[in-house]
Amino acid sequence: MMNRPFISLVTLMCVLALSTACQNEEVTPIDRSPLPAVAAPPYICDHVPLKAVELMTGVRDPLVHGRFNLTSDDGSDMGVCVVRRRNDQENILVIDLSPGKDRAAIEEYLDDGAKALPEIVPGSIGAYFTSPGGENHAAYAHLLGNGSWLSVQLEIGVEGRDNAADVAAMMKLIAPKLITDAGAPAASPSAEAASPSPANSSAKD
């Protein structure tokens, strides 16, 4: 009879130990895989590959708001894509497209120590960098080209990942579509009417 309290205590300690072990096993390891080299569906905001977003934010099935308007006749193509956790209202990732800004702003980033982006779009100039002091593992990339300014703002990055490389890689995935389409003039009805169809051309011949 004297041993029952001792046995109960040992049993309780074993249960707690097993519970702690199970909780430790449920911790999701950091996925350090690089972002995909090619944009592929599924997309969020029509043009941003979900797989890349999940890798750079560490959030699966995020809450997404926004869209891009690439069909404006006056060249003021713009839009925004905001990514959040489903249980939080804080922005994790913001991708913003707006009419072109001063080239000097990019040059200032570079003068301050930011790394230069490659010429993702012909004639473009860009920079990417991490937040001062590495706060929230944040990183930013900005690209100016074809009269449009595109920014990738990773407000809360994943500890253990190369956050600067992530925003640069995301820019390479989305800029060819967003900036090229935004800078391309829309075909006017009169121009389309002035161009004969192949069928009409062959009929005249």
- For residue 42, whether the previous peptide bond is cis, meaning omega lies within 30 degrees of 0, is yes
Q: Does the global pTM surpass 0.85? A: no
pLDDT given at position 188 = 39
Q: Which one is predicted more confidently, 64 or 11?
A: 64
8, burial (CB in 10 Å: exposed 0-12, middle 13-18, buried 19+): exposed
pLDDT band, residue 27 (cuts 50/70/90): very low
Domain residue spans in the chain?
43-184
pLDDT given at position 44 = 97
The 10s digit of each residue's pLDDT in 107-127 is 999 999 999 999 999 999 999
Q: Does residue 14 surpass a pLDDT of 50?
A: no
pLDDT given at position 26 = 40
| CA-to-CA separations, 138 to 107, 127, 165, 174, in angstroms, rounded | 21, 15, 11, 19
In CATH, the number for domain 43-184 is 3.40.1000
The 10s digit of each residue's pLDDT in 165-194 is 999 999 999 999 998 765 554 443 333 333
